[in-house]
């Protein structure tokens, strides 16, 4: 499950980076830029804590996401991550808290992209 999380986060991060380059609105450009910078650190913290608890993760498969409706994609991914929190963290609250930080980044970015204009 952790490998799927990493794959999904990296695919979203890459799509957000492409959307960031294509964005003509300065504030949206900045919001997207913050997201793609932050999620790498967030998922890195999750993986390192996970590996400290459970051992090395397996192979991470690469996937892609169309950056067309990036705000909606971010919202859907936040829901997936939140729904799978227990499977991702097991019984370790520290990992669950790190997963919560990742979900926070997704939800905050979705809010900024859809409500602040």
**pTM score:** 0.93
Give residue-wise pLDDT tens across range 14-56: 999 999 998 888 888 999 999 999 999 999 999 999 999 999 9
Tell me which residue of 18, 53, 50 sits closest to 36, measured CA to CA. Answer: 18
| Dihedral, 94, 96, 101, 107 alpha carbons, nearest 10 | -170
Q: Where are the domains of the chain?
A: 2-58+66-115
Distance (Å, whole) CA 62 – CA 93: 28
Distance (Å, whole) CA 19 – CA 41: 20
Round to the nearest angstrom and report the end-to-end CA distance of the chain.
36
- Please report the pLDDT score of residue 17 as a whole number: 93
Distance (Å, whole) CA 14 – CA 20: 10
């Amino acid at each position: 499950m952790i490998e799927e999380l990493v794959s999904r986060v990296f695919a979203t991060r890459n799509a957000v980076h492409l959307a960031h380059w294509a964005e003509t609105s300065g504030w949206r450009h900045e919001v997207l830029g913050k997201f793609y910078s932050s999620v790498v650190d967030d998922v890195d913290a999750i993986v390192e804590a996970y590996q400290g608890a459970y051992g090395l993760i397996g192979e991470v498969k690469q996937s892609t996401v169309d950056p067309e409706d990036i705000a909606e994609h971010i919202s859907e991914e936040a829901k997936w991550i939140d729904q799978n929190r227990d499977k991702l963290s097991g019984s370790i609250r520290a990992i669950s808290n790190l997963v919560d930080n990742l979900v926070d980044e997704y939800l905050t970015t979705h809010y900024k992209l859809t409500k602040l204009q």
